Amino acid sequence: MSLKGIILRHNKNTAQMPSEPLPLPNKVSIPMQQSIGAPCDVLVKKGDKVLVGQKIGDSDKYMSVPVHSSVSGTVTGISELLLVSGKVCKCVDIETDGEQKVIDGIKPPVVTDRDSFCRAIKESGCCGLGGAGFPTHVKFGFDDKKFSVDTLIINAAECEPYLTGDHREMLENTDSIFEGIAHIKKNLGIENVYIGIEKNKPDAIKLLSEKAAQQGGIKVVPLKEKYPQGAEKVLVYNITGRIVKEGKIPADEGVIVINVSTCGFIGDYMRTGMPLVSRRMTVSGDAVKKPCNVIVPLGTSFKKVLKFAECDFDGMEKAIAGGPMMGIDLFDLHDPVCKTHSGVLAFKKKNKEKEPLQTNCIRCGRCIEACPVGLMPTVLEKAFDNKDRETLKKMKVSLCMNCGSCTYVCPAKRNLAEKNQLAKALLRT
């Protein structure tokens, strides 16, 4: 595998904007599923008083993380939210009381070994903050008879255009990131640590390199500005030269990858015991008058966040939760911000007449050139259209990481990445 990928305009106009706390909303709606694990059962009912950090959702499934209240206030009801997967998840609706009282008993967890560390991380409600939402305790709880892990990679590439939350995390929460690394190293017995940062963040590279030099065993790796540099398999290859094969995970190659903001949260949690109740996110796009980075209580509506950034709702055509390449179109701005939302982008209406229409494939090969994992998107598209499962399997559609590079470069405007997602779903049925 070589990193092909594409060069994108970064549009990281919020990189030098320090994070601001979002004014407390008067209500939040907190989903019971905010990771890729099993949904939680609701632990509260209408009329209950809740406090910041109180557990309001939990599950007995290992592949799940609990959910905590981001505010103090009163539960006004249990509503339902339609997820992009088409499933419906329960949400706890809370009217805030403005006091932000924290529940008693918040204190640093007692950790003595890997098991107690993984239990503490699960209790914190931690999942990957980069967008994937993989439960962090599951990643740390690898079977050490099966996997021999010797390397930790901190993913600070942040290769999606517009997003700068990880960049701000590195500048504003540096010590917590290194505390998080120290806890992971100690409890998982990992020797080598690499922090991979794209070269478009020179201040973060400089700051973290200086800190790393004081610690030992931690190396900052400046990475080419090429999308999708932050994709897990691409990052593992570019930093260690190890190839994570089809159907395998980085631990098969002795590597654990975690996002830099997740690492910063772990440092904070181990020092304070406050579970995951808010997150840093970027608000940007040409429909936003005041692009910014904000710290948002989980469960706040996207509308409230966009309003804070002075979004022109009338002139806006669409909003995206996440980055422009891998983010999800928002159909309802009242949807709540979850643990996986690294940003929200709002874009103005475009002149549709000037937009090129989709045409037949002209066999230019640009999609193949762009694909970071060496797939042939044009062949996969044809196979999907013909519902040809054998070819889809043979051409390894399961390796597609949905990075969107093929769609982006296609002069015929074919929906290649989207078809691959549908093709993977087809193979699962």
Nearer to ligand SF4, 82 or 362 (CB): 362
Nearer to ligand SF4, 364 or 427 (CB): 364
CB of 5 to ligand SF4, least distance (A): 8
Q: Which two tokens stand for residue 53?
A: 């950090």
1 interacts with ligand SF4 by CB under 6 A: no
Q: Choose the binding region for ligand SF4 from 73-81, 236-244, 277-285, 362-370 (rule: CB under 6 A).
A: 362-370
In the set 81, 152, 367, 423, which binds ligand SF4 (CB under 6 A)? 367
Nearer to ligand SF4, 243 or 362 (CB): 362
CB of 369 to ligand SF4, least distance (A): 8
In the set 363, 390, 428, 429, which binds ligand SF4 (CB under 6 A)? 363
CB of 354 to ligand SF4, least distance (A): 20
Paired residues of 336 in beta bridges? 301
Listed residue (324, 180, 197, 363) closest to 262, CA to CA: 180
Give the CA count within 13 Å in the CB-facing half-sphere of 14.
30
204 interacts with ligand SF4 by CB under 6 A: no
- Residue 289's CB: how many other CB atoms inside 10 A? 9
Distance CA 96, CA 17 (A): 28
77 interacts with ligand SF4 by CB under 6 A: no
Q: Choose the binding region for ligand SF4 from 195-203, 205-213, 316-324, 359-367 (rule: CB under 6 A).
A: 359-367
Nearer to ligand SF4, 43 or 412 (CB): 412
Contact predicate 181/193, CB 8 Å: yes
Q: Three-state DSSP class for 204?
A: helix
221 interacts with ligand SF4 by CB under 6 A: no
Length of the chain: 429
Q: What are phi and psi of 198, to 5 degrees?
A: -65, 150
Tell me, residue by residue from 375 to 414, as one string, x for binding to ligand SF4 by CB under 6 A and - for no binding: x-xx---------------------xxxxxxx--xxxx-x
Q: Which two tokens stand for residue 104?
A: 């008693």
361 interacts with ligand SF4 by CB under 6 A: yes
341 interacts with ligand SF4 by CB under 6 A: no
Sign of the C-alpha dihedral, residues 268, 133, 339, 101?
A: negative
CB of 152 to ligand SF4, least distance (A): 25
Find tokens 């960049």 and name the residue. 167
Q: Beta strand 41-42 with 49-50: parallel, antiparallel or unpaired?
A: unpaired
56 interacts with ligand SF4 by CB under 6 A: no
Q: What angle do CA 8, 12, 18 make, to 5 degrees?
A: 160
DSSP 8-state code for residue 142: -
Distance of CA 293 to the CA centre of its chain: 15
Point out which residues bind ligand SF4 (CB under 6 A): 361-367, 370-373, 375, 377-378, 400-406, 409-412, 414, 416-417, 420
